[in-house]
Structure 1
Amino acid sequence: MPTAFPTGTGNVPTGTSYLPPGPNGAGVANQGANTAGSQLISVHALAAATYTSPAGNGSQYAFSSNNWSPGDYYQATLSTLGFTSISISWDQARSSTGPAAFRLLMSVDGGANFSELMSYTVLQSGGGGAPGTWSSTTYNPIYTNTFSVSSAADNLSQVIFRFQNFEALASADTGSNRIDNVVVSGIPAPGAVALLGLAGLTARRRRR
């Protein structure tokens, strides 16, 4: 992400949800064609959750939060109009006491129903056998997850991707989990231009 979160006593964001600041508005994708109406948000059950912007995985800032409960999530909302063969990739890491068990969910009906696309384990940044802590200058591909979505996500005005914790309470309230480089890509229909990206949520165009 290109923009740091507020810092300093009394300024650090807390609460049950947070939209990260950005050049196109809070939570809005910073690259791509379908940025209008896009959103990246973190949602927590506990109002004590704190939101910070430590170093990303080869980018200036990541989206980090603590006080994780089962069911808490990061969520990306976007349009895939004009695109098919949708795929999503993202970088994610945790602290030694942050939650590790996550699943990727998708909704194509405005959030009324979600289907599980995959479950995955979030690696500890610089620990637990994962080499290298996250750095704003060095990208480490070991922290990147990718998933090719079915045609159910093609050419829609709204698709929601949810990165949801399904682990028991983190072993410490300060246990954190961070996400970065959320990239949604697809193949454009004739005459369409590139898709988008958040956190940034970022979009890429793939060639046929």
Structure 2
Amino acid sequence: MAEADGKQLVSEFLGTALLLATVVGSGIMAENLAGGNIAIALLANTIATGAILYVLITMFGPVSGAHFNPAVTFAFWLRREIAPAPAGLYVVVQILGGIAGVLLANAMFDLAVFQISEKLRSSPGQWLSEAVAAFGLVLAIFMTLRARPELVAPVVGLYITAAYWFTASTSFANPAVTIARQFSNTFAGIAPSSVAIFIAAQIAGAAIAFWLDRYLAAPGKSA
């Protein structure tokens, strides 16, 4: 099992911070410029997020694996590719990096740096969406790593771009993202009361993806 060193932890912190700065910052910019057209705002937010994921995974993948996501780290722990202690450190720095990225986005747009979102995201459809979003993300990562590892960055960017639109929750798919986004009362925010069940759904989706990938990768005849 891999251990974590300082460079990997800095990589996970910076990558998650830049991801959240992009998610929240592009959401603020989109809301400011879209003139009330929510579809246009979401499209702008989607494109920026998919693009930065491609960039960040390409940059930081060779250093830390570019998880930027506790659900992804959890799935790699299930695969015994990261030990419990470094996995825990990854999760801590991902959460701290995510919060730092949100605060940075707030500051860049001259908003109050410390905010609490009032945007409720609480419905069975959204909870199911988060399980589906995390499931698809982890399965895409694992199956692409096995088939075409050099394509992980574009696959993840494209998957999240699509999942913004086919899920009712707009595909958070990431506990660090979920925790951090409660600190921005903007287009991309989520109310604290909505956070816990989103995270539970994301972890459940990641676990199901792990088991399905293991089944699909097992030796034996195809059906």
Q: Which has the higher helix share?
A: 2
Both structures adopt the same fold (TM-score exceeding 0.5): no
TM-score under structure 1 length normalisation = 0.26
